[in-house]
Structure 1
């Protein structure tokens, strides 16, 4: 399975569909990532918070896949924001991952009450300039947070990884990204255990195209131009989630899915969330 790549604003290629490991215990992560790599995934998304970077690194080491064929993302947590703490967090993550160069480093949340994300971004700019990271970006940033980085720092974020699913399509934020050359990446793309998978709009489309509801939603993301990182620990589901490149949705399908928008969040509000 070959996953198409999108181009970040610095020319780096990112596989459009990746494998997320949020809430996967470290003891299960190596097997899950092994299954993902065997199924054809080449983009793995982890974070310091997830406490499974070591499992990701072990799976990568055992796979024997050439390093330049893999794309690995990790993130700096709120309690480690600030210039020096962010550098230290990155170094610790790299040791756990067993990597010399990271493909993408993200600020996990803006945590505006802490007011450290600009200093954190300056640390990211140094890591990028030093060649330790191929691309730098953010996660869960709102337009105001992004605009501050654009105004006060030098490097435009390559990507913003945000909660995005049919209930929360993030149209305004995606438009801001498009205006400034920032790619949109979706976490919780299936609305994580919500009602979207059983919604009649989704199940009707799935029946017509002969696919599962999850595959329909992942295809919707891809056709919107999002990078998407579904998560599973079940090998059959892992394989199912990557098998979404040989069918298409119609404009009527997109219009129907757009009607599911409620603005409902599964995760925290980025404007107020600052937990360390």
Structure 2
């Protein structure tokens, strides 16, 4: 079976968020996929089955668990399939429903994802202590906690206590602030509870960030910068209860699994 590493939400290798992509020839056990994801050691590895005339099957695993939604590994999967000759609209049957991708201009790939607007809530116990900063606004989406802080510099300077963040009852914690340059907003994403201390660039987090910042800024089309060490850019367009996430991707290597 063919396997790839793709850097997502970047047009340069060794930036953005690396994802594994495994093209399955035959059905395989869940335990095997989890073992391969642990071996790959990326924040997510995507496993793809050919749907024939229907959608492709798509599942995502961190090194520790299966997740229900992953943007950067979906972008990586579409990038691989397009590079192998696929064209036009691709559909994927996932645990978050049918997701779709399209080839856009300037080598961008656009993904149709469900929007996940956060609802304001009290900060979970220990959140401020774990982050080392008191948020100015806290909300919760289907999967994650969203914490807005005072400035982009605060986001960049965060050195959270990962052990304490593990106690926060959520898939992950998104920390965000208004942009201070070419981006409309900045963010970082921490998910130690599912085996990802910090994710370099997180597509699914932008399903939360897009409706939040579109509401704040009064515009549907925005640019988000995830300011992790590797860094990356996600272009978002809110379309009702859906959000278009667009970005570039670069294949770093490909090979064949021997097991």
User: If the TM-score is normalised by the length of the shorter chain, which range does it land in?
Assistant: under 0.3
Q: TM-score, normalised by structure 2?
A: 0.28
Whichever structure has more helix as a proportion of its residues is: 1
**TM-score normalised by structure 1 residue count:** 0.27
Higher strand proportion? 2
